[in-house]
Amino acid sequence: MSFFKKEKRLTGEELLFSRKALVALTLPLLLQQVLEVMVGTVDSAMVAQIGEAAVSGVSLINTLDTVLVIFFTAMVGGGSVVISQALGRKEKNAICESAKQLLYLTFFISMILTVTVLLFRRFLLRLLFGAVEADVLKEALGYFFFVALSFPFLAINSSISACFRTSGNSMLPLIVSIVTNLLNICGNACCIYGFGMGAAGAGLATLIARVVTTVILLALIVQRKYPVHIDRLLRYKPNKKVIGQITGIGIPNGVENVMFQFGRLLTQSLIATMGTSVIAANSVALTISNYQYMTGTACSTVMITVVGRCIGAGKDEQAKYYSRRILAMNYGLLWTVILSSFIFLNPLVGMYNLSPATEDLAKDLIVRHLILAAMIWPLGFMLPSAFRAAGDVKFSMVISIASMWIFRIVSAYFFALDSVSVFGLFTLPGLGMGIMGVWSAMFVDWGFRCTIFLIRWLKGQWLQRKCAHATDS
């Protein structure tokens, strides 16, 4: 079967989602991604005004923060699948029960994380980043304290936003996100500049913004006019069956994401040995290339919502039809971003005031990334979202972790270095490609994922792993 072959038996009257509905789901998510990137840039610029120590402290915590929040955000992804399938089955009790279990599960995980971080934050920073300078450590600890306090509110916000998105309402989370980010910017201005709190002020602003957002979202999710809502919010009884469904999807996804972040840290440590010019070029290339992933993030959320609904309704052919259609939509959006990146490549790289040699290297990396991403990135990273929506999570986890270690990490060392020491026992020759070797290993990783996941999609094996069933009321 060709991947792009149209399903003739699917007509407009039979389809669960119209083209208008898909656009209504995707556009707010894409706008939210753009907003978060823009606000993140403004946020960093505001912190930068108070000195390098503050910027360094915030940067260290943001790197660690990404890893720390992975597990409760992975649970949110698992909950989205369970709720989407319940919506497809039109089981009202199961929908609301799944939403409540998701909310409490992520809240409890985030509380454990918060307490752990507050007790051991100094130890964590020393363990991961070594003997950082005293002023940087001070700023990092102050910022980390308030960010850790905000984890439970972030968990609640993420869970409720996911509930609305799975029901097809992407606009409401977008509006709430706008409010959150505006509050964060205003809070930064007051706490950093007005009260002179330094990096801790940025953390406090984040906490306040997330608390306000939590109050708004909780007030909305209890309203019965929404397809996904929570009755008797404060009366909670654990439902082991639903929790098992959520964690059955969320835990493999969380493990996969943790390993991915760990792999990135290892490759960054390799690049750190290549000199200041290479580090700067790599940093700029990654920053600009990351803009291309915004479309993938938005379309992955749409994929889980739509395919999960089809699976729940027992419409496997539509699940396959929509997975292909959303993938094609992601390609269209990605190519638009890539074309814009080509057109504005010189001014984008020029903003960083690099030396001519470093600027040329950064451009070379970006161009290679643009070309390969345009061809294969969506196949390697979008199709697993369709698999997860059908409950097929372990396969993509195993393949992703294996590909990460074999190609992106191990191959990076052999491609990049002239020789590689294997546990100090013996030395093997390398290709000596430098930074190009690291990026080439990443592209090989993409190609492997793309091939394996495409074969699985075409064979339809992912449709045989449906794991969410009717929920006990």
Nearest to 470 by CA among 302, 242, 279, 186: 242
CB atoms within 10 A of CB 273: 10
pLDDT at 221: 92
Instruction: Give whole-number Cα distances, 138 to 63, 115, 196, 251, in Å.
Output: 17, 20, 14, 34
Q: Report, as ranges of residue numbers, the positions in the chain whose pLDDT lies below 50.
A: 1, 4, 6-7, 467-473
Cα separation, 136 vs 122, in Å, equals: 12
| Partners of residue 429 on adjacent β-strands | 419
Residue with tokens 């971003």: 337
- State the angle between helix axes of 92-129 and 151-166 in degrees (0 to 180), rounded to the nearest 10: 140
Cα separation, 135 vs 100, in Å, equals: 43
Question: Residues 184, 150: contact at Cβ < 8 Å?
Answer: no
Q: What is the pLDDT of residues 171-194, one digit of tens each?
A: 888 898 888 888 888 888 888 788
